[in-house]
């Protein structure tokens, strides 16, 4: 019956009518949903009427050069999915009409039952199944590095400037000269490395600040946990200081560790900002 050759139940048919119906249902299901793998390893392929009716989607195997897939002059819709080969083309042919499905493309076709009645549209899948073309690029925007085309693995990362942050802690004497001792704690929520230590005082004076570090589990840090060795942040008869060498410092900070700030000595200064410039790992 019709171009799909679906079995029809004849007028007055009784015996075997259920079998006829089942065969018809199977033919419809195959024509609408089944996949037929077409073997091109032996050359061009011409589908028989039975093969053409047996599936909705046709996929290649053994494709090593451009091949032709000739389809019968029957009415139906079909897909040709060229997703198994990186370079070769399938030419879909009906009579004198030929439509090319190149590598990584899907052809959506309709045959109208006439000798040359083939029309279609081509979709690009961008590569083998589940991939995109290697010519596509990933652009590293402002503050990122690592972009490029997809011919190789790409890892995007923040530039050095984008990974640089400053951890601030203010010690305030409330209008009076800062006294010695522990002044407070500061948890650090990200892993980083200290690259500079700067002090900014409210007036000329002198101050030496020790920095202790320990895990949250071991809180609070103690003097045994100092990270500044013999080079603590220090202002001497000035209002500021900057240390970019950090001689002997333990500069690595793990996410979640706690910094404690202890004033070893101070003179005249009533407020000071501790600024630790860090680079996020």
Domain co-membership, 111 together with 181:
no
Q: Is residue 19 part of a domain?
A: no
53: left (phi over 0), alpha (psi -120 to 50) or beta: alpha
Percent of the chain clearing pLDDT 70 (strictly above): 85
Domain co-membership, 41 together with 110:
yes
Domain co-membership, 175 together with 114:
no
Pick 128 or 113 by higher pLDDT: 113
**Does position 233 have pLDDT exceeding 70, yes or no?**
yes
Stretch 54-80: mean pLDDT: 93
Domain with residue 100: its CATH number is 2.60.120
On whether the CB atoms of residues 270 and 178 are closer than 8 A, the answer is yes
Domain co-membership, 53 together with 116:
yes
pLDDT class of 1 with cuts at 50, 70, 90: very low
Domain co-membership, 118 together with 208:
no
Distance between CA 66 and CA 87 in Å, rounded? 9
pLDDT class of 125 with cuts at 50, 70, 90: low
Q: Is residue 144 part of a domain?
A: no
Please report where in the chains the tokens 């560790």 appear, as a residue: 257
pLDDT value of position 149? 83
Q: Is residue 61 part of a domain?
A: yes
Residues contacting 222, CB < 8 A, separation 6+? 212, 214
Q: What is the domain extent for residue 116?
A: 34-124
Q: Is residue 132 part of a domain?
A: no
CA atoms within 13 A on the CB side of 257: 18
Two tokens at 9? 């139940």
pLDDT value of position 137? 82
Distance of CA 190 to the CA centre of its chain: 22
Phi, psi (rounded to 5 degrees) for 185: -130, 155
pLDDT class of 126 with cuts at 50, 70, 90: low
* Low-confidence winner among 35-39, 72-76, 81-85 (lowest mean pLDDT): 81-85
On whether the CB atoms of residues 17 and 10 are closer than 8 A, the answer is no
On whether the CB atoms of residues 124 and 112 are closer than 8 A, the answer is no
Domain co-membership, 270 together with 178:
yes
Q: Is residue 17 part of a domain?
A: no
Domain co-membership, 173 together with 273:
yes
pLDDT value of position 157? 83
Structural domain ending residue among the three candidates 106, 124, 142: 124
Q: Is residue 8 part of a domain?
A: no
pLDDT value of position 158? 80
Q: Is residue 22 part of a domain?
A: no
CA atoms within 13 A on the CB side of 244: 0
* Local structure of 40: helix, strand or coil: coil
pTM of the predicted model over 0.85: no
**Does position 50 have pLDDT exceeding 60, yes or no?**
yes
Total domains, the chain: 2
Q: How many residues belong to the chain? A: 281
Q: pLDDT tens for residues 183-216?
A: 999 999 999 999 999 999 999 999 999 999 999 9
Domain co-membership, 184 together with 114:
no
Q: pLDDT tens for residues 155-165?
A: 888 878 888 99
Q: Is residue 150 part of a domain?
A: no
Domain co-membership, 118 together with 203:
no
* Low-confidence winner among 26-35, 71-80, 186-195 (lowest mean pLDDT): 26-35
Average pLDDT, rounded, for the chain:
88
């Amino acid at each position: 019956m019709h171009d799909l050759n679906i079995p029809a139940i004849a007028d007055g048919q009784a015996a075997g009518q259920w079998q006829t119906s089942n065969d018809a249902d199977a033919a419809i299901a195959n024509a609408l949903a089944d996949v037929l793998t077409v073997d091109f390893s032996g050359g061009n392929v011409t589908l028989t009427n039975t093969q053409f009716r047996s599936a909705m989607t046709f996929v290649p195997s053994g494709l090593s050069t451009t091949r032709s897939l000739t389809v019968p002059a029957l009415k139906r819709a079909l897909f040709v999915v060229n997703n198994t080969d990186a370079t070769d083309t399938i030419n879909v042919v009906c009579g004198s009409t030929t439509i090319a499905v190149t590598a990584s493309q899907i052809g959506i076709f309709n045959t109208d039952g006439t000798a040359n009645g083939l029309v279609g549209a081509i979709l690009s899948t961008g590569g083998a199944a589940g991939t995109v073309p290697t010519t596509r690029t990933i652009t590293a925007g402002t503050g990122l590095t690592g972009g490029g085309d997809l011919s190789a693995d790409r890892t995007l990362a923040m530039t050095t400037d984008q990974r640089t942050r400053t951890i601030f802690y203010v010690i305030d004497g409330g209008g009076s000269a800062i006294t010695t001792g522990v002044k407070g704690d500061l948890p650090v929520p990200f892993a980083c490395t200290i690259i500079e230590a700067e002090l900014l005082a409210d007036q000329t004076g002198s101050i030496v600040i020790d920095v202790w570090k320990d895990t949250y589990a071991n809180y609070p840090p103690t003097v045994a946990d100092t990270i500044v060795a013999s080079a603590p942040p220090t202002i001497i008869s000035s209002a500021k200081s900057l240390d970019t060498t950090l001689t002997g410092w333990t500069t690595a900070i793990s996410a979640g560790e706690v910094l404690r700030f202890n004033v070893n000595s101070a003179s005249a200064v009533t407020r000071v900002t501790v600024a630790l410039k860090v680079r996020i790992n």
